[in-house]
Amino acid sequence: MNKLFHKRNTCRLCKSLNANLVLKLESVPSVTPNMKSTQSTDKNYDLIPLDLYLCRKCGFLHLFDIVNPTQLYDKYLYETKISIGLIDHFQNLCHDIINLGILNPNSLIIEIGSNDGSFLNLFKNYGYDVLGVDPAKDIVKKANKNNVPSIVGYFSSELAKEIAYSHRKSNLIVANNVIANIDNLDSIFEGINILLEDNGLFVFETQYGLSILNDHLLDVIYHEHLSYFTVKPLVKYLKKFSLEIFNVEKISAKGGSIRFWIKRTNNKLKISNNVNLFIHEEINSGFYNINYYKSFELRIHSIRNRLLSIITECKNLGQKVGIYGTSVGCISLIHQFRLSEYIDFAFDDNPLKNLISGHRKKIRVFNSNKISELNPSLIIILAWRYNKIIIERNFEYTKNGGIFITPLPEIYIH
């Protein structure tokens, strides 16, 4: 296996060899803003294919090019607390779970991919026992320092056995924006089976495949996100673990996500009508037909061509061009829109690095308070979901003639 990445050839769910390449995107760097800089990563310009495959047997949408997870996550930098509105979102989820009435004073709540412990801390404040699991050693240290019990590791069936022995089974297992990041899903759900109490629940949030295509959420497609879940294939997949979805809901996180509520098949909780409604919507939309993806591809090409036309006009006049946002998704957009050669600098409210990877080029990153000083004529808001907040915070820039452009879900000039 290539140390950096490898390519699988079977469906991550049903293991079928029958899959279609439905969306071929621009390759993106192996180095991301979420990875701690080292001499090795700073020099690493490897570009890895970013292609989406649709399983013709079960309808699962996913990447086949798998970056070595130790490279991505062992020295992870991103922390939950830096995302605008995410803690409030988790607080609402915490209340929804508590209101279900499945927890008791002795409940153990486990989070897969617990990061800095922000979510678990909400339950800890209510007096529940909690345990986080995350591969990022430095972040786990911070969580433990903040009195959120956490262990370093990649969740799996083997680790689940260790937790069941050293701790106990759980009434609630949660995974927020992490299940899509894992290649071996069989081991994950085997682990859920091992750890979950008979009346326990597994709740996970992830990007919703249908929203990605319908709402042009191009920036959530990158190598951390290996899978783009929909309801229909997951319902069938979970049966082999004696698990089933009893409710599903769309949520606003990351522009359009989905929350799955999962129980054991012998749990008497009633299955919501939402499950079948989602499946019908997915089928009727054409999501499981390879032709459905062509319109998304054409739309992205149209946005790219118009964006490059506007930027080229600025550059021909000798003007500077910046971008706003340096997350992993923003880096992907730099490549999908082929912006590298036109960008003079990048801005971010909470930059994790001083440099980000363009195509065969490094782009200097500045805190957003440097916008007035550097004064580019044009700034492309790659962190487009936060465009209203960004524009409000930088009123002086637009007042003095600066232009913001939001590229998604369609181009808008501010």
Tokens 């991505």: give the residue: 72
Tens of pLDDT, residues 138-195: 999 999 999 999 999 999 999 999 999 999 999 999 999 999 999 999 999 999 999 9
What's the rounded Cα separation, in Å, for the pair 231 and 251?
A: 14
H-helix or E-strand spanning residue 112? strand 108-112
80-285, which class in CATH?
alpha beta
DSSP 8-state assignment for residue 106 = T
Q: Count Cβ atoms below 10 Å from residue 86 Cβ, excluding itself.
A: 17
- DSSP-derived secondary structure for 302-314: HHHHHHHHHHHHH
Q: What is the value of pTM for the model shown?
A: 0.93
User: Cβ contacts of residue 53 below 8 Å, gap of 6+?
Assistant: 19, 20, 21, 22, 61, 62, 63, 64
Domain boundaries, the chain: 80-285, 292-413
CATH architecture for segment(s) 292-413:
3-Layer(aba) Sandwich (3.40)
Q: Do domains 80-285 and 292-413 have the same CATH topology?
A: yes
Distance, CA of 204 to CA of 192 (rounded, Å)? 12
Per-residue pLDDT of the chain (414 residues; tens, 9 = 90+): 447 889 999 999 999 999 999 999 999 987 777 666 554 555 556 889 999 999 999 999 999 999 988 888 888 787 777 777 888 989 999 999 999 888 998 999 999 999 999 999 999 999 999 999 999 999 999 999 999 999 999 999 999 999 999 999 999 999 999 999 999 999 999 999 999 999 999 999 999 999 999 999 999 999 999 999 999 999 999 999 999 999 999 998 877 899 999 999 999 899 999 999 999 999 999 999 999 999 999 999 999 999 999 999 999 999 999 999 999 899 999 999 999 999 999 999 988 778 887 776 788 999 999 999 999 999 999 999 999 999 999 999 999 999 999 999 999 999
Token pair belonging to 32: 């991301």
Work out the number of other CB atoms within 10 angstroms of the CB of residue 369.
Answer: 11
| Nearest partner of 284 among 238, 230, 234, judged by Cα | 230
State residue 44's pLDDT score: 53
pLDDT at 4: 82
Residue 63 host element (H or E): strand 61-63
- 366 by Cβ neighbours in 10 Å (0-12 / 13-18 / 19+) ranks as middle
Strand 19-29 to strand 378-381: parallel, antiparallel, or no bridges (unpaired)?
A: unpaired
